[in-house]
Structure 1
């Protein structure tokens, strides 16, 4: 069993393209020995840090604590590797567990088989030592064991998060194809949002981007509304330490004095957004309006930061050429002095915007290859803008 102040390796999983953002988040939280991989970042910290990482990381999907790694080229070697861990350090015979696995291997081609072999090794060890096998529980186990096999290398870890960390606890109402919360936070951080200006999501749907934007601006721990983490059922769970860390993180919350607005043309959608915003305890920061972005205009002189996820045609049937041209025309004519970012998986439609993007960043929305596009809309010419500095 790890001592609470002992440093150990952890792995934070994330989406493609968010590795650097996540590494920066970890650095800011105080992690050490940070190294980026593919859709993940390795780092070191103590027991308190695994609590803090789950509570605060905006772009992590789950936090794993590796226990053992080894070479496996057949089921016997897998069984032996699992058996080499003393599972009584992590599990009582009266507890329940679940195995989840990811395999990229020529030998192991089915995650269900890997789960079964891992379960057998753990259950057999308990039966041999105690005469009692712990139960397998898929829905709400006491311990979640993660097995990752790439070619012939196997890593066995504990999953400290449980449900994916995108499940923040505030979103109870959604529309068709809502944006994933981790993706929303990643877009905002990728765009450089820190709470520096007014903010607008002109196609706000169920409010996810708005909520994540305020949480970043106010430095609110992103999973503060979440009901449970898997580590709360670990044998070494330290509630006092967690409470101390939560309190310390909440003391770093900061004021935010700019306007945050969300528009949507559908009143039912706005009701869902309002419910989610209330659940996140952010109603005082966010104003919602039933409004068509294409007939709206920027009222204030001050700069505005715009981030949105245009509809893909499920909720609203759209003519791609007209729709994307309207985005460009609205920004150019009605939103001077704005820094606009939006994500789209419709790579062909980008040309219809009619503006040259300042940046194009490749990412994935679910399994759809997408681009995060940035359009800087200057008041007057760029030349004039630059000459003012």
Structure 2
């Protein structure tokens, strides 16, 4: 593609998780995007092809970057088939490529998104067959070209998926414990705290270490997309600019800071989880930046000789029946540890068990609604002032 096409701005949409929209908009702004609209789980923006590549590489809280290319109204099946058939699909898909369609249908006369996807696929395939006698194949698992169809009240928007595999799958995670945070959510939680990437960052119940890993990526200015497995979606597009992509990757690699920027440490009662965390940290090439240890949360300590920072955790929620007393005791222990060992710190708990969270015994100064998968959660902030517990403790301590 000719050089001059690089600088023409176009519309894009970045999708994210509920509650992270403002954080994602800020990430996009810092890359030079012009924000057009912040919606539910999505941010609409304009930018150039370079920005499209950079957004896939750098956005920590994005799930996908989409490039809308067509919109129309379809009052029934015939109209949908006809409008899809009017587009010149050779601009987007080559006959030897595979493709897949994801459809999302809201408040429309069409009942089923699968049916809408099927009809769209038929219209595309029929066009190729009629024009060339050959047709691209459908590959639902690992297609070259992913298309998104979004229909609201029979208004259709078709987009190309620039990301391919979901961006939250960074590729550093070897295996995970039972209920890990996804990486985009972990990064979002950290960015919501406003952590500066310099102060100490402590996770006393770190599980397989996702919060710690994402914190180290932020502190060391490492682009999460550098871990992406396989190709990004845009690499299979007809207008893919190899030279531009190589320069964007080179810039990202040279942005990395080698010198450790922050004291980042995590511990967990389970030696197995710490082993898992270690494997993930090594896979991400971050072992120089993260300290890990086996320790009960009640024994967690702020590091001596370090200024106050943030302590952050995603404790178990206790989804199983009969775990209430256990959870109440655990959250009370967390509260006691925060009060005695982390004075002067800001503490953040991300939890889906709001009943147990009352046992922490501290008043939350902020409560941010988020979801962990289907679980309605809160990110609770506690400000642990110096001297909150002084009166209760004898001087000799």
Normalization by structure 1: what TM-score? 0.94
Specify the SS of the correspondent of 1:24: helix
Q: Which residue of 1 aligns with 2:83?
A: 81
Q: In structure 1, what is the Cα distance between the partners aligned to 2:159 and 2:300?
A: 51
* Deviation readout 1:183-210 (Å, 9 max, x if unpaired): 1000000011121311111111111100
The verdict on how the C-alpha distance between 1:230 and 1:206 changes in structure 2, with shifts beyond 3 A counting, is same
Contact 1:23/1:35, CA 8 A, preserved across alignment? no
Counterpart of 2:358 (choices 344, 347, 351) is 351
Counterpart of 2:387 (choices 348, 356, 380) is 380
Counterpart of 1:280 (choices 273, 281, 284) is 284
Shift of residue 251 of structure 1?
A: 2.6
Counterpart of 1:328 (choices 335, 342, 345) is 335
Matches within 5 A, 1:27-176: 27-176=29-178
1:306 aligns with 2:311: yes
Which ranges of 4 or more aligned residues in structure 1 deviate by more than 2 Å?
1-5, 249-258, 295-299, 312-318
Q: In structure 1, what is the Cα distance between the partners aligned to 2:28 and 2:145?
A: 25
Shift of residue 381 of structure 1?
A: 4.8
* Deviation readout 1:95-129 (Å, 9 max, x if unpaired): 11111111113312212101100100100111111
Q: In structure 2, what is the Cα distance between the partners aligned to 1:134 and 1:142?
A: 10
Q: In structure 2, what is the Cα distance between the partners aligned to 1:152 and 1:92?
A: 28
Q: In structure 2, what is the Cα distance between the partners aligned to 1:264 and 1:82?
A: 53
Counterpart of 1:246 (choices 249, 253, 258) is 249
Q: Which residue of 1 aligns with 2:20?
A: 18
Shift of residue 314 of structure 1?
A: 6.7
Q: In structure 2, what is the Cα distance between the partners aligned to 1:38 and 1:271?
A: 38
Shift of residue 179 of structure 1?
A: 0.5
Mark the runs of 5 or more structure 1 residues left unpaired by the alignment: 383-389
Specify the SS of the correspondent of 2:7: coil
Shift of residue 300 of structure 1?
A: 1.4
Specify the SS of the correspondent of 2:364: coil
Q: Which residue of 2 aligns with 1:203?
A: 205
Contact 2:25/2:35, CA 8 A, preserved across alignment? no
Q: Which residue of 2 aligns with 1:385?
A: none
Q: In structure 1, what is the Cα distance between the partners aligned to 2:243 and 2:267?
A: 42
Q: Which residue of 1 aligns with 2:184?
A: 182
Contact 1:23/1:34, CA 8 A, preserved across alignment? no
Q: In structure 2, what is the Cα distance between the partners aligned to 1:185 and 1:252?
A: 18
Counting matched residue pairs gives 382
Q: Which residue of 1 aligns with 2:269?
A: 265
Contact 1:27/1:34, CA 8 A, preserved across alignment? no
Q: Which residue of 2 aligns with 1:4?
A: 6
Q: In structure 2, what is the Cα distance between the partners aligned to 1:342 and 1:150?
A: 36
Q: In structure 2, what is the Cα distance between the partners aligned to 1:239 and 1:65?
A: 18
Mark the runs of 5 or more structure 2 residues left unpaired by the alignment: 390-397
Specify the SS of the correspondent of 2:255: coil
Specify the SS of the correspondent of 1:319: helix
* Deviation readout 1:20-50 (Å, 9 max, x if unpaired): 1111100000112432111100011122211
